[in-house]
Amino acid sequence: APIPSGDTTTKSAPVEYQPVISAAYMGVVPCADCDGIETRVTLFADEKFEFVNNYLGKNPKDTAGLNSIKTGKFMMHNDTLHLEGVLVRFIQNDSALIQLDQQGKKIQGKLAEKYFLKKLK
């Protein structure tokens, strides 16, 4: 019997791109005029991020432009996490992201621990 010739490799359907999450963090940071700002940071293996802010306890019409989802590239500089296009910076440790003040320093005082975004399992 003749042996079939030709391409015998099977072609798989294109796989939809699914970014690989390397870490995700969430917490509620203090807010001067609301119940808190629910903040979620997701870091992907390809150095991209998603940053979500949700202002709690405010009338939805008052949060127009405040609640946001931002995406872009992130980079680490020493232990400081920089998110492209996001003013907030963080220090990353094994279990949390610690939000820094506008000068890039750790927040001090009695509210300091409120600026931790805990790592999600």
pLDDT at 59: 84
Give the mean pLDDT of 86-100: 94
Rounded distance between C-alpha atoms, residue 20 and residue 49, angstroms:
11
Other Cβ atoms less than 10 A from the Cβ of 46: the count is 10
The tens digit of pLDDT for each residue in 61-72 reads 887 778 899 999
How many domains are contained in the chain? 1
Domain range for 36: 21-119
Instruction: Return the CATH number at 107.
Output: 2.40.128.640
Rounded distance between C-alpha atoms, residue 91 and residue 85, angstroms:
17
Rounded distance between C-alpha atoms, residue 43 and residue 21, angstroms:
6
The tens digit of pLDDT for each residue in 27-63 reads 999 998 899 999 999 999 999 999 999 999 988 788 7
Q: Tell whether 102 is covered by a domain.
A: yes
pLDDT at 18: 63
Task: Judge contact between 51 and 70, C-beta under 8 A.
Answer: yes
